[in-house]
Every structure is written in C-alpha cells, then in structure tokens.
Amino acid sequence: MKKTLLLFLSCFTLYAKTLTVDSCIEAALQNHPDIKRLSLSSLQSGSLVDIAKADYLPQLNLNAQYNPHNTFTLQQNGTFNTIEDDNFIAEAKVTQKIYDFSKTASTIEAYEKNKNVTALSLEEAKSLLAFSVKNLYNKALFQTKALKTRQKDIETKEELYKQAEALVREGLKTKADASSMLSALYNAKDAYATTKAELDKAVATLFLYMGEEADLSVTLEENAPTTLQSANALDTIFAKNPSLLGLSEQITRDTLLYNASKAANYGSVDAVASYTYQDSLSKYDTSMLGIGINIPLYSGGRLSAQNEYTRIEKEKTKESYKAKKLQLEEQTLTLIADLKRYKATIEAKEALINSSLATKEIVEARYKEGLSTYIEVLDAATTHLQAQLGLLEARFALQNIQNNLEYLQGEKK
C-alpha cells in the first residue's frame, strides 16, 4: 500500500504544472485587457496619419438637387409673369490643394509622431505588466520558501514540546515548560497558516494576470539570479525608458501641431474644377477650371484661440518631460541606495543564521541537561527563525529592486 501511495505521489509531482517567470509574463502580455486595449489604440493612431494625408489628394464632391415645385419669374413687355415648374441641378466639383503654408505637412508629421507616442505607451504598459508579474512571482517564491521554513519551525516546536513533556514526567521540568512549548507550537502553526494564505493569494493573483484559472498546487521554478550594473543605470534609463521617450515624441508632436495651427491663419491655394448641369425651364450645363485662394479674415477668435491652446499644450509637455526625468532620477538613486543596503543585509543575515543555529543547538542540548530554561530555548529558536525569514525577505526585496530597475529601463523579460 505504501509503495502504491508513493508511486501515486511521484506521478502527481511529475505531471504537476510548473510555471516559470517568463511563461507567466508571456501569458499576461497575450491575455491582459490593458495590453489589448493599447494595441488597438496603437492601430487606431495609424488611421489619423491616413486622414491627414487625404488632404494632399484630390477631393471630389457630387451634389444634386431636385425641386418638384418651383416658381420662376419672367419679364415680358414690362410685366412679370410667374411660371411653376420642377427644377433639377447636378454638380461635380474637384479641388486639389496646391499650397497651404505647410499646414497639411505639419499635421501629417504630428500624427506620425502621435503614432510613435501610442506605440511607446504600449511598450510602457508591457514593461509595467511584466514588472507586476515578476513581483508577484517573486512574492510567491518568497512565500513558498517561507512556508518551508515555518514547517521546519513547527517540527522543531513539536520536538521541543515532546521533550518538555518527557522532562515534566521525569520531574526535571515544570508544567510551565510544557505549556510554553505548546503555546509556541500553536503560534508556529498560526504563522504557517498566515504564510500559506499569502502564498495562495499571490498565486491566485498571478493567474488573474495571466488570464487563466488559478491552480494553487502549481510549482514555481526558481529564478536565475540576476545582477544589474548600477554604475550606468541612470544613463540607460534616460535612453530607454518608454515614458520619457514618449514625452520626447509628444514635444515634437505638439510643436508640429502648433505650427499647423499657425499656418491655418494664412489660408490655402487650391485648384478647382467643376461641371454643373441644370434643368429649369431650359436645359444647359456649365464648367469651370481655375485657382481659388482661401484666406480666413475673421473667425470669431477661433484661430487665435486654437493657436494659444496648442502653444500652451506644447509648453505643458515640455514641463512634463522635465518632471518625468526628475522622477526617474529620484527613483533610480533611491533604488541603487537600497540595492547596496540589501546586499549588506544579506551578508549580515547569512552570518546571523550560522551563529544563531550554533546557539540554538547549544541551548537545546543544555535544556535537555537541565542547564537552561525554556525561555532561553524559545528565544534561541525565535532568533534563528527570524534570521532565516530575514534573509528570505532581504533577497525578496533585492529581487524587487532589480525588477524595478529593469522596468525603468523598459525591459519586458
């Protein structure tokens, strides 16, 4: 029976789903609605370029009008006579823009830049999603390791409780020893349950990002250790950060829109051709070919207001770019400082684990001989446990910092 059970467990472990951080990121990028929405926005921005380019092409319009009842007035021998008849007019008109002081050219360039802006917004969203997934994956790994540590702590507390009961029966310890060890055991089990709940929440949220049904029994593959060079991190972030690059493109876009708005004040020169057929009392047609000049003399202040709006928009974007650059610099310097701090913390925690383990073993041995109290035993066990958890937390924080630096650099893996 035992062999059958072991075989079943080994087969279950073999076929249990295993996740990697790369597979989680890939699934999230494919299924997350924000990425799909921004992908559609990126495609949509290309239509604006086509709309602007249409102004360079001939514009053909066909107009027709039919009036079944129309009154015509005719003068005959000094008197006016009215005739009622139907009326039909059809006109085909073609206009071709010749020159508009670069208004159309500036608008086309502006929308091409806007296309770049939306593409960079999509890249920023992908980087942010990858960063969130990596942090969730990292948290789930941390809780998995913390769960194993707390399981060992439960086993230690159970062994101490059994020893205490045995010593009480032999008259070497009091009931207070056994009660304290039992309380410590229950506290360890409670901490284990809390850690298990945090692990389940992290895994469930990870599957939500991936767009899949949650599987709490999933196995997480250990991340390969990564080390970022922090010396030139700020220069790399300034050169690659999608948000900053997007704001730079926005400045160019808003400048071009401002130039197009100013050009609208000067009007345009258009080639015009038309053909008109009219049937009203008599049938005749007319045709026209020439050049038209359109100069806006008065628009109720609309053009000047539009100029001011686009000018202010351009200045706002410039200030947004400066603010974003300052924010990135502050974040990067803070992350690099924390990076150094946690590296030192990890070294200290590793040393503390070794020393606390030695102390724990000595105190437990002395306790068996009746040379130390249960308080000393529990304090030594707690110190060792906190050192182990502290090391896991420091490594978790260090990985999060590296993930954050990768996000600021626009990394998606």
Does the pLDDT value for residue 391 go beyond 90?
yes
| pLDDT one-digit tens code per residue, 306-338 | 999 999 999 999 999 999 999 999 999 999 999
Tell me the CA distances in angstroms from 83 to 69, 252, 282, one per residue in order.
Answer: 10, 63, 13
Query: What percent of the chain has pLDDT above 90?
Result: 60
CB 91 within 8 A of CB 77: no
Flag whether pLDDT at 78 surpasses 90.
no
What per-residue confidence (pLDDT) applies to 1?
Answer: 40
Q: Are 96 and 274 in contact (CB under 8 A)?
A: no
Question: For the purposes of burial, counting CB atoms within 10 Å of the CB of 408, is it exposed (0-12), middle (13-18) or buried (19 or more)?
Answer: buried
Q: Residue 15 above 80 pLDDT? A: no
Is residue 408 within 8 A of residue 331, CB to CB? The reply is yes
* pLDDT at site 13: 42
- Tens digits of residue pLDDT in 214-245: 888 889 888 766 665 566 888 999 999 999 99
pLDDT in tens, 35-50: 999 999 988 888 989 9
Q: Which of 82 and 113 is assigned the larger pLDDT?
A: 113
Measuring CA to CA, how many Å separate 209 from each of 24, 205, 215? 8, 6, 13
Confirm if 328 and 241 have CB atoms less than 8 A apart: yes
Predicted pLDDT of residue 192: 95
State the Cα–Cα distance between residues 333 and 230, nearest whole angstrom.
Answer: 9
Q: Do strands 79-99 and 18-19 pair parallel, antiparallel, or not at all (unpaired)?
A: unpaired
Q: Render 143-176 in DSSP notation, one character per residue.
A: HHHHHHHHHHHHHHHHHHHHHHHHHHHTTSS-HH
Mean per-residue pLDDT for 251-256?
A: 95
339-389 tens-digit pLDDT:
889 989 999 999 999 999 899 889 888 887 777 888 888 898 889 999 999
Q: 3-class SS at 220? A: strand
Query: Region 390-399: what's the mean pLDDT?
Result: 92
**173: pLDDT confidence band, cut at 50, 70 and 90?**
confident
- The confidence score (pLDDT) of residue 10 equals 44
Average pLDDT score, the chain: 88
- Integer angstrom CA distances of residue 309 from 168, 258, 292, 315: 85, 8, 29, 10
What's the pLDDT score for residue 16? 56
The residue ranking higher by pLDDT, 280 or 195, is: 195
**C-alpha distance from residue 27 to each of 97, 133, 201, 406, 408 (Å):** 49, 10, 19, 19, 21
> What pLDDT score does 158 carry?
92
Kindly report, residue by residue over 278-299, the tens digit of the pLDDT. Answer: 887 778 899 999 998 998 988 8
What element of type H or E holds 242?
helix 242-263
Report pTM.
0.82
Residue 2: is its pLDDT beyond 60?
Answer: no
Q: Does residue 154 have a pLDDT over 70?
A: yes
